[in-house]
């Protein structure tokens, strides 16, 4: 696509109407493009590594519906499995054999998971796991990290990442102080801060929850020893360690970050990839802890559409496609090529930048770095990011419309897609001045 032919008239018309119908014109805040300027592109269809908007523009997609599309959008095998499942109905609200199949696949893949409960979203998985942490330990306080996002439940809206960071809303009105008074926070990658919180609150902390590789402050990997350190500290204090792998699960490795870094939490939350593009979340972990969940135990949690047969079917097919030799090597290679290329181009065109990737997840900041956590991520030149985002969009490259979100690749992204992306980045970055604040 050339910038001269970039026309989004229909997107503009639809979004103008949407703003009168839905708050901000969207169903979820980050997609409103508030932090990058311009306005959202309205999609018409997706396939493989590509999306098409209502004006007929085609984009190479690095959002992948915020994570699920790891096999590429609308994979033919996922679609045909869904077509077959659809003929049997859309919802049972009762047990199905598909739940067993997906549960077994998840248990086999994710080292910490011995039992699993399916829910409908990552938010639901995280709010449920928090109740379970408290039920099991009989303690109320939790530790979360600045810039980590665990969905929009009240208890987690403290120094959260993702849309909250994007819109500069540190906390949200409507969240009672009493709900967040038990949420303690520490900077990501700071073991000393975690030790201090445990020292100040001995025997009160139910557990520590984190994104083992952060995606919601942009892409921020754990420093060497950080995950291992958390494992030791939590054990020492009789507290639980919970990995929120909604983003990283089946994305940076088939067994998630815990397999990649060989650190086993007590509990894990999942979402995105395990639903293959349909709404699914899950939480799971040690059998003794999971046995507390109703009806096996007293901790209540329920859901009409949980374990939905269509969602289970899409998840099963997606995991089947991923669980083949060479898939993660392919994802790792293509993503490294992309990020390595972007960093080289930034350097050659005179821009401070840093970034990295793990599996099929990546990020780029416009700061020399290094970025160890949210405070460092905020040093990125956000004005420049906005201009970069716009320039890429006009050249047919769809990036997450926020500096505080990770990027995602898929099995459908090919070398030529990366080459086209890098050519666009060279053009955009060559046209942007260092410290471009206009």
User: Rounded distance, CA 265 to CA 246, Å?
Assistant: 14
Tell me: does residue 166 bind ligand HOZ (CB under 6 A): no
- State the residue for tokens 């900077």: 187
CB 374 to ligand HOZ: min, Å: 14
CB 153 to ligand HOZ: min, Å: 13
Q: Which of 8, 18, 30, 256 binds ligand HOZ (CB under 6 A)?
A: 30
* Closer Cβ to ligand HOZ, 44 or 204, answer by number: 44
Active site residue 300: no
Q: Strands 281-285 and 354-358: what pairing?
A: unpaired
* Closer Cβ to ligand HOZ, 216 or 349, answer by number: 216
Positions in 63-82 near ligand HOZ (CB under 6 A): 66
Positions in 202-241 near ligand HOZ (CB under 6 A): 216
User: Rounded distance, CA 267 to CA 128, Å?
Assistant: 11
Stretch that binds ligand HOZ, among 28-36, 76-84, 203-211, 354-362 (CB under 6 A): 28-36
CB 405 to ligand HOZ: min, Å: 5
Nearest to 160 by CA among 148, 174, 173: 148
Total residues binding ligand HOZ (CB under 6 A): 7
* Closer Cβ to ligand HOZ, 162 or 306, answer by number: 162
Residue whose beta carbon is closest to ligand HOZ: 28
CB 404 to ligand HOZ: min, Å: 8
Catalytic option among 50, 59, 62, 149: 149
Catalytic option among 260, 272, 317, 378: 272
Tell me: does residue 405 bind ligand HOZ (CB under 6 A): yes
User: Rounded distance, CA 221 to CA 274, Å?
Assistant: 22
Positions in 82-111 near ligand HOZ (CB under 6 A): none
State both tokens at 93. Answer: 């609200």
Active site residue 398: no
Active site residue 272: yes
Per-residue CA distances from 314 to 77, 102, 271 (Å): 9, 10, 12
User: Rounded distance, CA 157 to CA 64, Å?
Assistant: 25
Helix axis angle for 309-322 and 76-86, nearest 10°, is 150
Nearest to 271 by CA among 303, 244, 292: 244
CB 31 to ligand HOZ: min, Å: 4
Residues near 83 by beta carbon (within 8 Å), at least 6 away in sequence: none
Per-residue CA distances from 402 to 89, 205, 349, 367 (Å): 38, 33, 22, 15
* Closer Cβ to ligand HOZ, 39 or 216, answer by number: 216
The terminus-to-terminus CA distance of the chain in angstroms comes to 26
CB 326 to ligand HOZ: min, Å: 28
Tell me: does residue 28 bind ligand HOZ (CB under 6 A): yes
Q: Which of 8, 15, 18, 31 binds ligand HOZ (CB under 6 A)?
A: 31
User: Rounded distance, CA 362 to CA 406, Å?
Assistant: 6
| E-strand stretches of 87-162 | 115-119, 141-145
Binding site for ligand HOZ (CB under 6 A): 28, 30-31, 66, 162, 216, 405
User: Which residues participate in catalysis according to the annotation?
Assistant: 149, 244, 272
């Amino acid at each position: 696509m050339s910038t001269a032919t970039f026309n989004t008239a229909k997107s503009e018309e639809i979004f103008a109407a949407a703003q009168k119908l839905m708050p901000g014109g969207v169903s979820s805040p980050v997609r409103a493009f508030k932090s990058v300027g311009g306005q959202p592109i309205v999609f018409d269809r997706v396939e493989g590594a590509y999306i098409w908007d209502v004006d007929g523009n085609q984009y190479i997609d690095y959002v992948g519906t915020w994570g699920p599309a790891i096999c590429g959008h609308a994979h033919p095998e996922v679609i045909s499995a869904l077509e077959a499942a659809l003929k049997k109905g859309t919802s049972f609200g009762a047990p199905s054999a598909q739940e067993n199949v997906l549960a077994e696949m998840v248990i086999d893949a994710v080292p910490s998971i011995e039992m699993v409960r399916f829910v409908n979203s990552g938010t639901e998985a995280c709010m449920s796991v928090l109740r379970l942490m408290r039920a099991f330990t009989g303690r109320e306080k939790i530790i979360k990290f600045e810039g980590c996002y665990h969905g929009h439940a009240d208890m987690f809206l403290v120094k959260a990442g993702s849309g909250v960071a994007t819109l500069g809303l540190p906390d949200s009105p409507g969240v009672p102080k009493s709900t967040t008074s038990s949420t303690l926070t520490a900077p990501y990658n700071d073991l000393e801060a975690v030790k201090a919180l445990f020292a100040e609150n001995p025997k009160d902390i139910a557990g520590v929850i984190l994104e083992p590789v952060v995606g919601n402050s942009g892409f921020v990997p754990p420093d060497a020893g950080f995950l291992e350190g958390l494992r030791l500290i939590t054990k020492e204090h009789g507290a639980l360690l919970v990995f929120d792998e909604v983003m990283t699960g089946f994305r940076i490795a088939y067994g998630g970050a815990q397999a990649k870094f060989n650190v086993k939490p007590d509990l894990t939350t999942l979402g995105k990839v395990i639903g293959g593009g349909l709404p699914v979340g899950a939480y799971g972990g040690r059998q003794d802890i999971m046995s507390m969940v109703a009806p096996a135990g007293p901790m209540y949690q329920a859901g009409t559409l949980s374990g939905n047969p269509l969602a289970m079917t899409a998840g099963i097919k997606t995991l089947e496609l991923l669980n083949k030799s060479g898939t993660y090597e392919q994802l790792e290679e293509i993503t490294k090529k992309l990020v390595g290329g972007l960093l080289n181009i930034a350097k050659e065109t005179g821009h401070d930048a840093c970034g990295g990737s793990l599996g099929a997840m990546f990020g780029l900041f416009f700061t020399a770095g290094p970025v160890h956590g949210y405070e460092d991520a905020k040093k990125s030149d956000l004005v420049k990011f906005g201009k970069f985002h716009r320039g890429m969009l006009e050249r047919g490259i769809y990036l997450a419309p926020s500096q505080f979100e990770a990027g995602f690749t898929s099995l459908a992204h090919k070398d030529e897609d990366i080459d086209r992306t890098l050519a666009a980045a060279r053009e955009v970055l060559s046209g942007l001045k260092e410290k471009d604040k206009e």
